[in-house]
């Protein structure tokens, strides 16, 4: 099938009420477009959660101390994971500029890396959602251990089924999570309604280059998007930004972290190697899945056939002045 044939407008495939926009980039995305919205939500609930339902002890051997499953920010490739992830947490905190009492929603909060960092470093009130009961349990256990559980709640919930009041959040965060969500236009609409005026949305996730680079129909792509991670929908940055803007938000800042993700993945792979036997003892076969998918991802970021961006958007007047951020 040629690239042109694959770029079929989605509208023709939306006979069952799916509200996705744009064109299909991969086999995984085309399969999602054949499902109804309800079927896709159930698909994400079951398939995406599976990866994250593995023992937190496994991820503790691979990731940094706060269990961030997303890129760090390195000043030097020799830095360790904790240094790079702490820099990323601090950067997210600076971008979201959470004031005392402000309400923050972390969609796909994982084991609470960003949520708990922000709870410890600001006086905001935090609500996380995840599809994994195990992640919720680990994150709440950490919240109690670190004395912030009075300002942290976490539910197991799909974002499209979240019950929220209009204009109820000051900041909404997606770190390494929106890639698992198919209905992006619908989710940006939800974010736009849920944010108060002056509210911020931050996304840190991966995208395809606008011009096709690399083989998106390869077995490797299918492996990482479906077999290893359940469901991934990589789109172009321009498509995400367009949907954010159409939902009524303004883009404040976008930065590329592609090189940093390749470095982060390299550190994770080394940790899988070091802990292979312990991981296998807890979950036979999982060290192979981790190392294989992480190697595909690392190669993709190193070759820039996949790109990592952090996006900051605002609803109305910005709470932060990005023009004053210093570039050293």
Exactly one of 288, 316, 322, 325 binds another protein (CB under 8 A); which one?
288
Q: Does 217 bind another protein (CB under 8 A)?
A: no
Exactly one of 83, 218, 283, 305 binds another protein (CB under 8 A); which one?
218
Q: Does 274 bind another protein (CB under 8 A)?
A: yes
Exactly one of 66, 200, 233, 298 binds another protein (CB under 8 A); which one?
298
List C-alpha distances in Å: 143 to 115, 121, 154. Answer: 9, 13, 10
Measured from the CB atom, the residue of 129 and 289 that comes closer to another protein is 289
> How many angstroms separate the CA atoms of 164 and 152, rounded?
16
Q: Write down the least CB distance from residue 303 to another protein, Å.
A: 9
Exactly one of 75, 270, 278, 281 binds another protein (CB under 8 A); which one?
270
Beta-carbon count within 10 A of 17 CB: 10
Measured from the CB atom, the residue of 45 and 276 that comes closer to another protein is 276
Exactly one of 177, 183, 291, 314 binds another protein (CB under 8 A); which one?
291
Q: Write down the least CB distance from residue 86 to another protein, Å.
A: 25
- Applying the rule CB under 8 A, the residues between 53 and 112 that interact with another protein are none
Q: Does 299 bind another protein (CB under 8 A)?
A: yes
Measured from the CB atom, the residue of 83 and 218 that comes closer to another protein is 218
Q: Does 226 bind another protein (CB under 8 A)?
A: no
Measured from the CB atom, the residue of 156 and 299 that comes closer to another protein is 299
Q: Does 292 bind another protein (CB under 8 A)?
A: yes
> How many angstroms separate the CA atoms of 180 and 232, rounded?
5
Measured from the CB atom, the residue of 133 and 215 that comes closer to another protein is 215
> How many angstroms separate the CA atoms of 223 and 201, rounded?
30
Beta-carbon count within 10 A of 137 CB: 15
Q: Does 296 bind another protein (CB under 8 A)?
A: yes
Exactly one of 42, 219, 245, 250 binds another protein (CB under 8 A); which one?
219
List C-alpha distances in Å: 136 to 56, 139, 161, 229. Answer: 11, 5, 17, 18
Q: Does 273 bind another protein (CB under 8 A)?
A: yes
Q: Does 282 bind another protein (CB under 8 A)?
A: no
Q: Does 278 bind another protein (CB under 8 A)?
A: no
**Phi then psi dihedrals of residue 192, to 5 deg:** -60, -40
Beta bridge partners, 307, equal 207
Q: Write down the least CB distance from residue 222 to another protein, Å.
A: 8
Exactly one of 266, 283, 309, 318 binds another protein (CB under 8 A); which one?
266
Measured in whole angstroms, how far is the alpha carbon of residue 170 from the centre of its chain? 19
Number of residues that bind another protein (CB under 8 A): 19
**Chain contacts with another protein (rule: CB under 8 A):** 218-220, 223, 266, 269-270, 273-274, 276, 287-288, 291-292, 295-296, 298-299, 302
């Amino acid at each position: 099938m040629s690239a042109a044939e694959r770029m079929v407008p989605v509208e023709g495939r939306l006979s069952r009420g799916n509200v996705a926009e744009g064109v299909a980039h991969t086999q995984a995305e085309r399969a999602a477009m054949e499902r109804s919205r309800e079927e896709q939500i159930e698909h994400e609930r079951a398939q995406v959660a599976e990866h994250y339902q593995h023992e937190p002890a496994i991820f503790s051997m691979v990731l940094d101390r706060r269990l961030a499953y997303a890129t760090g920010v390195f000043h030097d490739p020799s830095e360790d994971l904790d240094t790079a992830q702490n820099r990323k947490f601090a950067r997210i905190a600076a971008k979201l500029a959470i004031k005392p009492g402000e309400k923050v929603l972390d969609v796909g909060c994982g084991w609470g890396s960003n949520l708990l960092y922000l709870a410890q470093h600001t006086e905001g009130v935090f609500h996380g959602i995840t599809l994994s009961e195990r992640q919720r349990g680990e994150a709440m256990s950490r919240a109690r251990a670190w004395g912030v559980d009075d300002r942290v709640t976490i539910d197991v919930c799909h974002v499209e089924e979240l019950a929220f009041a209009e204009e109820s959040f000051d900041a909404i965060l997606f770190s390494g999570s929106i890639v698992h969500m198919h209905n992006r236009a619908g989710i940006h609409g939800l974010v736009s309604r849920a944010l108060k005026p002056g509210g911020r949305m931050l996304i840190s996730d991966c995208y395809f280059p606008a011009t096709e680079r690399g083989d998106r129909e390869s077995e490797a792509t299918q492996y990482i998007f479906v077999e290893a991670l359940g469901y991934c929908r990589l789109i172009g940055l321009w498509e995400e930004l367009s949907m954010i803007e159409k939902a009524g938000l303004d883009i404040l800042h976008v930065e590329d972290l592609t090189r940093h993700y390749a470095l982060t993945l390299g550190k994770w792979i080394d940790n899988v190697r070091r802990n292979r036997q312990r991981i296998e003892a807890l979950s036979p076969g999982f060290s192979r899945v981790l190392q294989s998918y992480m190697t595909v991802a690392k190669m993709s970021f190193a070759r820039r056939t996949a790109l990592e961006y952090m996006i900051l958007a605002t609803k109305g007047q910005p709470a932060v002045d990005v023009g004053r951020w210093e570039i050293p």
